[in-house]
Structure 1
């Protein structure tokens, strides 16, 4: 059974993310847990307890109403729903929850209106800090069967191929096509381009796969170019934790994509460790994704 943590602030964006997740996991046994976090502001220490109790009561009431709304249509017998609330920040709460129990996915909506692109939003904070797969769904995303999926990543930085197992299982079950997208600079050598993703294609032996190459100095623009000219139901990346300097200088492509996603974005959690061994003659490594 898949365990899926659904984040909600009761906005239309978060509702869209919940409905998208319900459709995406409609064919598998799953436990959905709706999580709402909130910050309690008090006028003073003497009234703090009352404010906390009122805020908690209101949060639980709204969460129960949302649960009733998203389960209005008949749900499969193999889907289970629970709720929980916390008086804390969203990112910090999710980090703590994942230290207490395992979730296969964290799902949230995104509008691109939180904070600034430089320092990110809740979506970018979740991707940077939590140790599990994260699905970010834009408010405008259509809910339809997933048929075309694009994996855009720096193959050299993938530490463990088995980190991609959830993606493999999902694609196999849905009969979807996976495209390995590689963005290369205009001056990068062409030798070995056709073999860039060969070890990964071999791993996805139960999936219909293809490769696509774009030349662009800017990885983000290269991905955007592909999304403009192709219909894609899901974009997948494998982000890696980097330093604060990388955030400030804007080097994290994944967090830029998550800040204001054009289409649903799935980030695959790849634990730090020894990278997979790939012979140079087997694959050309660009090394420009994060």
Structure 2
């Protein structure tokens, strides 16, 4: 469950309320004071219709309820539409490229803020004898702040006119810092690089990307080293057709795609030709109930390797962004490593968007 505050008008007054979201962005508890015995309970359908399940102890008019519902909708849309981004950097070339990509994306998403974050006590989440910690990857607090300021100057002419760039440097562990910052500052998108040119960058940035994808509570955009920002027009969601109605984060995906003004395609790759998994037909119906064919384009493919099939489709159909909702992160790792370890340069321009499984 997520909790946030919104402000809405009741006559001439502005009221601040605390909103707790549950059941996959469908149910909302609204309180003036935390722990109210009789809070307002609202429900929103998948089509966006609101129902007042419990009016609470506060007496609100129909007009005031509409203002409240609108304020909640606006907050969630700005959150999941990436109104604010957190850009992670270790000052590598891969991180610089990801930051430039995020700067370009602010124009399309009309983002109000980019926050650049670096832990000056940064250590890789996973270290190996193959890729030991390099001295140039460890920075003092003063050096971190100086490098972030330099990065801010580089990005300033690249962001949208109304986008504010902020910097944060501290010594917190990376994962806990990312989750704390995104929650406290209501950030809906974390951006980081995929891998650099040399072996150290590939191993360290790579291991961190996978770990953050697993542990980050917020949607994650992974930008390949060779990716250059261009208008995102075509997005493909690679869906595994497993427990669709309970796991696919429909509202966050819809808000992000809508804010991009992009076209969404949904792809299912079957591993063995002609032998889809037993529940595929039922799950496909659930998927069509969520998105009808007027809203998205559906594609089906057979491939001996699912990850290769997804990457082939994204390349052949000139997709600008690939969305996944990993239920087990071996799937994510396989996509990640196939585009990295096999040096598929013609594919490494496609950024990967990781949405969290809905539960």
TM-score (norm 1): 0.73
- d(CA) in 1 for partners of 2:102 and 2:154? 15
- d(CA) in 2 for partners of 1:165 and 1:65? 36
Q: 1:146 to 1:75 in 2, by over 3 A?
A: closer
Tell me the residue number matched to 1:8. 89
Q: Summarize the alignment of residues 265-284 of structure 1 with structure 2, pairs less than 5 Å apart.
A: 265-271=352-358, 273=359
Q: 1:115 to 1:121 in 2, by over 3 A?
A: farther
Displacement of 1:204? 4.1
Please say if residues 180 and 197 of structure 1, whose CA atoms lie closer than 8 Å, have aligned partners that are also in contact: no
Displacement of 1:89? 4.0
Are residue 163 (structure 1) and residue 260 (structure 2) matched?
no
Displacement of 1:253? 1.1
Which of the pair has the greater relative contact order for Cα pairs under 8 Å at 6+ separation? 1
Q: 1:220 to 1:180 in 2, by over 3 A?
A: same
- d(CA) in 1 for partners of 2:293 and 2:164? 29
Displacement of 1:139? 1.3
Q: The residue matched to 1:33 in structure 2 has which SS?
A: strand
- d(CA) in 2 for partners of 1:114 and 1:20? 22
Displacement of 1:30? 2.5
Q: Summarize the alignment of residues 243-282 of structure 1 with structure 2, pairs less than 5 Å apart.
A: 252-259=330-337, 260=340, 262=348, 263-271=350-358, 273=359
- d(CA) in 2 for partners of 1:204 and 1:24? 25
Q: The residue matched to 2:140 in structure 1 has which SS?
A: helix
Please say if residues 238 and 268 of structure 1, whose CA atoms lie closer than 8 Å, have aligned partners that are also in contact: yes
Please say if residues 110 and 160 of structure 2, whose CA atoms lie closer than 8 Å, have aligned partners that are also in contact: no
TM-score (norm 2): 0.60
- d(CA) in 1 for partners of 2:178 and 2:332? 19
Displacement of 1:135? 0.3
Q: The residue matched to 1:151 in structure 2 has which SS?
A: strand
Return the match for 2:230 from 138, 144, 151.
144
Query: Which entry has the higher C-alpha Rg, 1 or 2?
Result: 2
Please say if residues 106 and 160 of structure 2, whose CA atoms lie closer than 8 Å, have aligned partners that are also in contact: no
The CA RMSD measured in Å over matched residues stands at 3.3
Tell me the residue number matched to 2:320. 233
Tell me the residue number matched to 1:17. 98
- d(CA) in 1 for partners of 2:145 and 2:312? 43
How many correspondences in the alignment? 249
- d(CA) in 1 for partners of 2:122 and 2:252? 37
Return the match for 2:167 from 60, 83, 87.
83
| Runs (5+) with no aligned partner, structure 2 | 1-77, 124-138, 341-346
Q: 1:170 to 1:95 in 2, by over 3 A?
A: closer
- d(CA) in 1 for partners of 2:249 and 2:231? 23
